[in-house]
Structures are given as C-alpha cells and as structure tokens.
C-alpha cells in the first residue's frame, strides 16, 4: 500500500490533542498555550507549551509538518541514496519536566518521513520512541515503564521490544560522560520493514503508550516531599539532558539544519540547569544510587515481581 500522509497527519494531530488533555488534567492548574508557526521554506506546525504548573515546571507537545526540495545532512548522512530527493517530515515530539525531583523527566516522539524523486519509487519510514529520565530512581516505576513498552510492542513480534529497547539504550547514551541519559524505553528509526499499514499501526501503538506509561508514575510520586538539596541535584542532572540534546539528538539536529523553528526545537530544554566542576555525589547516597544502579542499561523486566501461582 502507498503511504498515506493524510492518515498519518490526522493521527498525529489527534495524538497531540489527547496527550495535552491528559497532562493538563493531571496538572490541574496550568494550561497549554498554543503557538502556531509557519516555516518560510515549506510547512509549519503548532507548538503547545505548559509552564509553572502545580505539577509541570515546563513541558511541551509539538506537532510539525515540514517539506522541502532536499533532505538536510542529518537525515541523508546515513542514507546517501536520498540526497537530492524532496521530502515531507511530520511528527509529534514531547518533553515533560516536572517540578518534583522524584518525578522523572519524560520524552517521546513519533515521526514519519517521505522522500520522493520523479520517476522513482517513494521512500518512506517511521521513527520514534519514548524514554524516561529519573533523578531519584524507583524500581517499580522503571519496571512499569518498560512493561508498558513491552506490551505495546508485543503484537508485532517477540523480538521487537528487546531490539528497540537495546537501540534506545545505545542511542540515549552520553559518550563523553560514559553513561546513559536515563533508564531507556524504546527507540526506532528508518522503520519500513513491514508494509505501510503495519508500520503505521506500530507507530500508533508507541504513541498511544505514552500516557499509560507516564501518568501512573506521576501519580505515585507527585506528593513525595522534597527540599532544596533534591532540587539542586535535579538541576545538576538536567545538565546531562541538555548536553545530550545539543550534542547528539538527531531530531534537534534535523530541526536546526532544515530551518525549523528554533523556539519549538529547543522547547525540550529544562527551565533551570546547573553544572558543577567535577561534582560527585556522596558514596552510598540516593544521588549516587542513580548512576550506580539505575543508569546501567539493565533488564528492568527481570525485576518485575513473579505473579502468584
């Protein structure tokens, strides 16, 4: 089946609506502000940002649909056969930075690319995923997050979750720090192994999984007490998030290289960040346990409790 831009776009716009509604209801105080924008060289989008809420210090859920005569280097570098093709790219990308340090930062995106050249078969693929970045880790939260990821993948084959879980662990890795950004989840790109309908169904499964994966964690942690020390550690660890997004993230690079809207692209950055020269946590502290135990690319489902027989 030929790819349907209209069907993908309709799904993505609806996904943005549903996620914003769920997060706004959970916050209970702040509302998303919409900023529609147009890209001078083709396309545009709608950025939705929430800030200074009861729950969310800063968050955004962006939809974009851009097109152009040629793919930027970040997209064609690993696919040189696409150079010179026109393209359409659309997606929803979100990042949530809660105020409470015991609630993890969450990121997700789903996207679709179509590259065309007269007289040649269109080339298309899906990409996306979801990942979690805790500051004070909790094993039950990590198991829940990965269980939802596993269940979303299960209808598409037993090998899908472990493959895309491992890809996520590799991708969200700060090489210069020698550590993962968070506890992972799923990451996939260049997906066209199945027919269009199956690939699109998989993208929908991943997009729809975000609320089920994140909100139960938020609800369990939102009232956990914290102080200035926890906030300072959160700000320090947020620095790692900034480093990854500005140095490695393909979505950020694609957006900047394709002439995307800078405010929307950098919406993912947290509101307050700090760096300390060669700072290290106290051995044996909860802060040390983040890197000693949680940021280790482990098999979280192996820690799930065994059901009673």
pLDDT band at 74 (very low <50, low <70, confident <90, very high): low
Q: Name the pTM for this structure.
A: 0.92
Clarify whether 78 is annotated catalytic: no
Query: Annotated binding site for a divalent metal cation: which residue ranges?
Result: 97, 107, 146, 176
Query: Annotated binding site: which residue ranges?
Result: 93, 97, 107, 109-111, 146, 176, 259-261
| Straight-line distance from the first to the last Cα atom of the chain, in angstroms, rounded to the nearest whole number | 45
Query: Annotated binding site for substrate: which residue ranges?
Result: 93, 109-111, 259-261
- Which residue stretches of 154-284 are H helix? 160-171, 196-221, 228-247, 250-257, 262-265
Buried b / exposed e along 125-154 (16+ C-beta atoms within 10 A): bbbbbbbbbbbbbbeebbbbbbbbbbebbe
pLDDT at 71 over 50: yes
Catalytic residue among 31, 78, 107, 150: 107
Report the percent of the chain where pLDDT is more than 70. Answer: 96
How do residues 187-201 score in pLDDT, each as one tens digit?
Answer: 999 999 999 999 999
């Amino acid at each position: 089946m030929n790819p349907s831009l209209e069907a993908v776009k309709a799904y993505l716009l609806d996904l943005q609506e549903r996620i914003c509604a769920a997060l706004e209801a959970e916050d209970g105080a702040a509302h998303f502000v919409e900023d529609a924008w147009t890209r001078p060289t083709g396309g545009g989008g709608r950025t939705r940002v929430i800030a200074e809420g009861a729950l969310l210090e800063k968050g955004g859920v962006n939809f974009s649909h851009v097109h152009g005569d040629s793919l930027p280097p970040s997209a064609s570098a690993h696919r040189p056969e696409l150079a010179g093709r026109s393209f359409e790219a659309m997606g929803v990308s979100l990042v949530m930075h809660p105020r409470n340090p015991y609630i993890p930062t969450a990121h997700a995106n789903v996207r679709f690319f179509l590259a065309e050249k007269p007289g040649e078969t269109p080339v298309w693929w899906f990409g996306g995923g979801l990942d979690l970045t805790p500051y004070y880790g909790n094993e039950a939260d990590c198991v829940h997050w990965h269980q939802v990821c596993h269940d979303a993948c299960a209808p598409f084959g037993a090998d899908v979750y472990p493959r895309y879980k491992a890809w996520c662990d590799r991708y969200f890795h700060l090489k210069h720090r020698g550590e993962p950004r968070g506890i992972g989840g799923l990451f996939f790109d260049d997906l066209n192994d199945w027919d269009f309908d199956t690939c699109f169904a998989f993208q929908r499964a991943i997009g729809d999984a975000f609320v089920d994966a994140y909100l139960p964690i938020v609800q369990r942690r939102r009232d956990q007490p914290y102080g200035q020390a926890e906030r300072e550690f959160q700000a320090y660890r947020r620095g790692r998030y900034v480093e990854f997004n500005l140095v490695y993230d393909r979505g950020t690079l694609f957006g900047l290289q394709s002439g995307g809207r800078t405010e929307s692209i950098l919406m993912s950055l947290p509101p307050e960040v700090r760096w300390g020269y060669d700072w290290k946590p106290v051995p044996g502290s909860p802060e040390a346990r983040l890197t000693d135990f949680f940021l280790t690319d482990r098999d979280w489902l192996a820690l799930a409790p065994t059901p009673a027989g």
